[in-house]
A and B are shown apart, each in its own frame.
Chain A
Amino acid sequence: MDNLYRENILDHYKNPRNFGKLQNPSASLKLYNSACGDEIEMQIQFRIHPPAGGSKFIIDDIRFSGQGCAISIASASMLTEKVKGKTIEKIQNLTTKDILKMLGVSLSPSRLKCAILPLEVLQKTAALAKEKENKV
């Protein structure tokens, strides 16, 4: 916990990557962490691979917005970088462990919620996008 506020976490907190909104997202979703008032919205745009009649959904672009503590914002920022170009299946398979590895810190249970919120939002957004696509 001593190295919780490491340089890279503070950097992502102060200069979050992929922060903002997409023009035409395939799906977007906002969730709150009601205990602390954190709020994270994820927007994704995907493409189908291979282009003609492919079966893979690939994250083409992603943005997040919202407010939260250093841990939740850094987690969201790093996550968006990590998943760009990845398939939705891969995103659905990400776990808490992957997030902790990505952040490079260990967290107490109460802070874990902050770190996990972005992944939860992303996975739900991805599921939403896929659902929409299947309906078309």
Chain B
Amino acid sequence: MFDTIKIQKDFPILKRKIHGLRLVYLDNAATTQKPKQVIKALVDFYSKHNANIHRGIHTLAEEATKMHEEARGKIAGFIHAATPREIIFVRNCTEAINLVVYSWGRKFLQRHDEVILSESEHHSNLVPWQFLVAELGIKLKFIPVTNEGLLDLKVYGKLLTQRTKMVSVVHISNVLGTVNPVEKIGEMAHKAGALFMIDAAQSLPRMPIDVQKINCDFLAASGHKMLGPTGIGFLYGKEKLLEAMPPFLGGGDMIREVYLDHSLWNGLPYKFEAGTPNIADAVAFGAAIDYLENLGLSNIFLHEKKLTEYALKKLLAMPEVTVYGPKTAEKRTGVISFSIRDIHPHDVAQILDREGIAIRSGFHCAMPLHQKLKLPATCRASFYIYNTEEDVDQLIEGIKKAIKTFKI
């Protein structure tokens, strides 16, 4: 049994009152709240173990180094990577994608090479590639989304050519909650001789992922969207590929030998981790992974699926409300974008805030998708492990209040 009431007790922030009311937090696609186990891991690290890593031989340095590497090991286990050397710590999903663009892209791409993305990408898996268009003259192609918001794989098949060197797509859309068939997309990419990268910012928090089974070459994610602290994320890359890539940043920790005129690089994963890393947040990210594994990712997926189904049914029954993306929970999870006739999303978000309900309004960092589907700015409610049907009911009540306020 998925015990949301017990889970809620682990999240101190859920006791907060907003304008005197119970907090209903439905902005989880932006960032999730943190359980006390994660907060404790942070406090414990700074209270008992803090030191710089890989440098000292004193007790604290040994402990901190061990804890940092244990966290890396937890991530490797969580995504079924072949070895922890394939896990590079970065600040967030955005930085992970940039690392691939700057290090792999600059070395291995040339003028006229093609990179395939999709029309539903978050800006983080689009803007960095645009840099390479300007710098190297590569070409970007886009897998179109259907009116329902699903990727059109027929067209994708035709986009693949001998020039295609990389296919990089979002796993779960942060706007529509659609789950893209990454195994199939990757298989097609590999058949065409291209590499395959997944933006797992929204999927890793809510479904089991096995990078070896999916057979992706790179995968990017952020800790803060899966109970971890902000400022820590990781890039997974197949060892062979990472070995062939040049460092991203230069400095301490990423080198083995340094001379005045040249240096020899360190091995994986340190080659990509220049300077003192975010040690405490990595350790706390490890605690977040423990928490998620304890709940079980399949259970989390099922819980959100049920909530999404429940919310979809209620929202679709309101004549003033338009829901975007698939109308059933079959091909989507966790995230619902909607609008209310004649009320701007800002105003909806503001009125809901007065009711203690936190949602997001705007373009959600996916402006091209909004343009393609001719969506205005939208309201977005996104769920996580501590959300309940009661939260959805309150959302619906809040929407009714907005409709009443605006007398539409």
| Total A-B residue contacts, Cβ distance less than 8 Å | 40
Contact B407 A10, beta carbon cutoff 8 Å: yes
Q: Give CA–CA (A5, B370) in the complex, Å.
A: 27
**Docked-complex contact A37 and B363, CB < 8 angstroms:** yes
Could you say which residues of chain B place their CB within 8 Å of the CB of A71? 346-347
Is A25 engaged at the interface, CB distance under 8 Å to the other chain? no
What is the interface size of chain B, counting residues whose CB is below 8 A from a CB of the partner? 18
Contact, CB under 8 Å: A36 / B406: no
Q: How far is the CA of A10 from the CA of B344 in the complex (A)?
A: 12
The dominant DSSP class at the A interface is: loop
A36→B354 contact, CB < 8 A? no
B1-39: which have CB < 8 Å to A?
none
Contacts of B406 in A (CB 8 A): 5, 10, 70
Q: Are A37 and B376 in contact, CB atoms less than 8 angstroms apart?
A: yes
Chain A nearest CB, measured from B337 CB (Å): 13
> 8 Å CB contacts to A: which residues of B364-394?
370, 376-377
Which residues of chain B have C-beta atoms less than 8 A from A111's C-beta? 346, 350
A 23-49 contacts with B by CB, 8 A: 35-37
**Interface pair B361/A36, CB less than 8 Å apart:** yes
- Chain A CB within 8 A of B59 CB: no
Cβ contacts under 8 Å, A36 to chain B:
345-346, 361-363, 377
Contact B346 A4 (CB under 8 A): no
CA distance A68 to B362 in the complex (A): 11
Residues of A bordering B, CB below 8 Å = 1-2, 4-5, 10, 14, 35-37, 67-71, 111, 114
21 A–B contacts, CB within 8 A, in A order: A4-B350, A5-B351, A10-B405, A10-B406, A35-B362, A36-B345, A36-B363, A36-B377, A37-B363, A37-B370, A37-B376, A69-B344, A69-B345, A69-B346, A70-B344, A70-B347, A70-B406, A71-B346, A71-B347, A111-B346, A111-B350
